[in-house]
Amino acid sequence: MIYRIDNLACTDCAARIEAEARKLTGVKTAHVHFASGRIELDLDDTANETEIFHSLARHVRRIEPEAVLRPMLDHGHDHDHDHSGRWTLIGLGVSAILFAAGWTLMAKDTPQMVIIGVFLAVYLISGYRVLLAAIRDIFSRDIFNENLLMTVATAGAWVLGEYAEAAAVMLFFHVGEYFQSLAVARSRRSIAGLMDIRPEFANLLKDGVATPVDPAAVEIGDLIAVRPGERVPLDGVVRSGASRLDTAALTGESLPRAVGSGDPVLSGSINLSGLLELEVTSLSADSTVSRILAEVEHATSRKSKSEHFITRFAKAYTPVVFGLSLLLALIPPLAFGGEWNDWIYRALVFLVISCPCALVISVPLAFFAGIGGASRRGILFKGGNYMETLARVSTIAFDKTGTLTEGLFAVREVRPAPGFDRETILESAAYAEANSTHPIAVSLRAAWGGKLDPARIGNVEEVAGQGVRATVDGKEIAVGNAKLMESCGAAVPDQPISGTVVHVAARGAYAGSIAIADALKSDAAHAVEQLRAEGVRRMVLLTGDNRPAAAAVAAELKLDEVHAELLPTGKVECLERLMHDREPGETLCFVGDGINDAPVLARADVGVAMGALGSDAAVESADVVLMTGEPSRLPEAIRFARHTLGIVRGNIGIALGVKLIVLLAGAAGLVTMWAAVFADVGVCLLAVLNALRALKLPEKNAR
């Protein structure tokens, strides 16, 4: 079950709601997706959904009084509607006017009861949510939080006769909460803008007639029409028509991409010009746009070390503060004869200053904003933890084909062995690779150019990391690397050839070799140069390609090491050796795009997949996805990660530093509750505004 939580603006509250949901009878697991304001529950088969909904709604109201739990509408395509914002602003306006009036009345000869009444009105209008939440928390035994801090501090101020200060604490705390919600809303809008790329309908073609249907109702192989101005609803291949596509929402690229018959098209793109007829290649749930949205939505649940630290810190911090304030109120009067009113007032000031809002709010918000800002640039971080890990990267290992090179192979040279000719070798290779979608197989079939007859093909056996064996016209044909030739008993002559070399054997006899070249991506060299500038000390090539081809690429890009002819397990072994050699505190990143890269992407400290067009296994296994598939986006991703982490560290330093200074001053009686509330709210607002800087990479770092 999936429910909306409207007006959820606090990451700490989201974590508490998730914890309470997991305790409910009938709930197996619960996950709150702060980015989209949703909670996802996995229920037992016998669970009472209605009872669970009402129980969860009570917990939501108790933890976050302004939040509202409601069912999802329209098959989960829902949006956040904050209906309380206007009333919150009206309440703040009324409170501010009354507060100013009370302050004016204090300067005149006004009866005390009138002044108390005005400040009481300010106190209740601004703080009734905090008071209700504190009462609910006491009954639920969840007392150590900012609601109780504010309630105890202000109640004590009323007892001491500091009416204006009690009202001021609630008013300015409410102001801080309002600006916090605005900041979260701004960050969420950046995510919501991404969510809007999910198309609401697909024009299903039946007998030449287009009928709008839910994308989830379209099957693989169906034909759909995409008119100019419409968003592509599902991944597909162009069967007729030509157009230009705006892929900015997916990749961050502003330049339209031209497509025609046979070209792949990604869901979420916008058709700019001609009518397109597409053959659907993926279901709605598995489409590119659905995968992207799912990853962004789940990203905030994968917390960084900084976020885990703040969560643990806040849990221990609040009880400690309560204890210290109690000691501050009791020990000086009891042990040293101090004035009770003076030391109780200092203890209340201590409580106000110590509210952990700035830390609890701003650190997760900075990662939230950073993930949203990067996603708009076509860089998809799957969690704040991966952002933090990438920021410390010192070693990068690259796959070659499709990562640093285009992956568009073309036959450059054919060398027949004695007794064979060029046409025979190409025809044999094309038939052996007839059922493969690998770029090398495609290039072999294209070089032969003939029409394949499936009846001529018998058994086909793929040999992992070596090539393929097939029976063609009753003859055994082997196409692959030197290891495959060796297993077939075909002796490979010593002849240096640049590029990727495919060997061909017929009936165990060596037939010849085919040289296939793959061009470097246009920005690969620039990417390596920028990575050096970012302080990456070691760059390594890990590839299954032959040594000459790998060495040529490494030399051209000036990489530090080359490891070639590797099986997937070999890549993992090489990666583990590299991880063993790194310095303490540094991390290793692997960048790849193929299905054989999935194990090493998962094993690296942080795995980066190249583009939405990479294999599903690679994209699923990766921690970061570069949607354009451009190597130059990797240094930008590192800069984004370091920019965000710098903001997080700055917020932690500012919040702890200012609070420590004012706490000591409050305990010494050097500051009043006025200064305390301004220090608390001011630091919170400063930290929140600083966190919003993570939405955009500064121009000097954008390069």
pLDDT digits (tens, 9 = 90+) for 60-94: 887 777 788 888 754 444 444 444 567 778 888 88
551 has a pLDDT exceeding 50: yes
Strand ranges in 602-680 using DSSP code E only, listed in sequence order: 606-610, 624-626
399 is known as an active-site residue = yes
Is it true that domain 384-405+520-622 has CATH number 3.40.50.300? no
Q: Which residue has the tokens 């793109």?
A: 269
349 has a pLDDT exceeding 90: no
Q: Are 310 and 388 in contact (CB under 8 A)?
A: no
Q: Using pLDDT thresholds of 50, 70 and 90, give the confidence band for residue 35.
A: low
Is it true that domain 219-282 has CATH number 3.40.50.1370? no
Q: Using pLDDT thresholds of 50, 70 and 90, give the confidence band for residue 416.
A: very high
| pLDDT tens profile 399-414 | 888 888 887 778 888 9
Burial letters 39-62, b for 16+ CB under 10 A, else e: bbbebeeebeeeebbebbbebbbb
In the chain, ranges of CATH 3.40.1110.10 domains: 410-517
pLDDT on residue 280:
93
Q: Are 697 and 633 in contact (CB under 8 A)?
A: no
CATH of 410-517, one of 1.10.630.10, 3.40.1110.10, 3.10.20.30, 1.10.10.60: 3.40.1110.10
DSSP string across 121-148: HHHHHHHHHHHHHHHHHHHTT---SHHH
The model's pTM: 0.64
Spot the catalytic one: 399, 518, 623, 680.
399
How many Å apart are CA 68 and CA 62, to the nearest integer? 10
In the chain, ranges of CATH 3.40.50.1000 domains: 384-405+520-622
Mean pLDDT value across residues 35-55: 82
In the chain, ranges of CATH 2.70.150.10 domains: 219-282
| pLDDT tens profile 585-632 | 889 999 988 656 778 888 888 989 887 554 555 566 778 888 888 899
Burial letters 352-380, b for 16+ CB under 10 A, else e: bbbbbbbbbbbbbbbbbbbbbbbbbbbbb
Looking at the domain 2-76, which fold is it?
Answer: Alpha-Beta Plaits (3.30.70)
Residue 630 phi/psi, 5-degree rounding, is -90, 125
Enter the tokens of residue 295: 């990853």
Q: Are 354 and 663 in contact (CB under 8 A)?
A: yes
pLDDT on residue 77:
44
Contacts of 47 (CB under 8 A, 6+ apart): 25, 26, 27
How many Å apart are CA 36 and CA 194, to the nearest integer? 11
Which range is most confident: 46-55, 528-537, 593-602? 528-537
659 has a pLDDT exceeding 50: yes
53 has a pLDDT exceeding 50: yes
**Three-state DSSP class for residue 679:** helix
In the chain, ranges of CATH 3.30.70.100 domains: 2-76
| pLDDT tens profile 445-467 | 989 988 899 899 999 898 877 88
pLDDT on residue 82:
47
pLDDT on residue 295:
61
| Alpha helical stretches, state H, 337-462 | 340-353, 357-375, 384-390, 422-432, 439-448
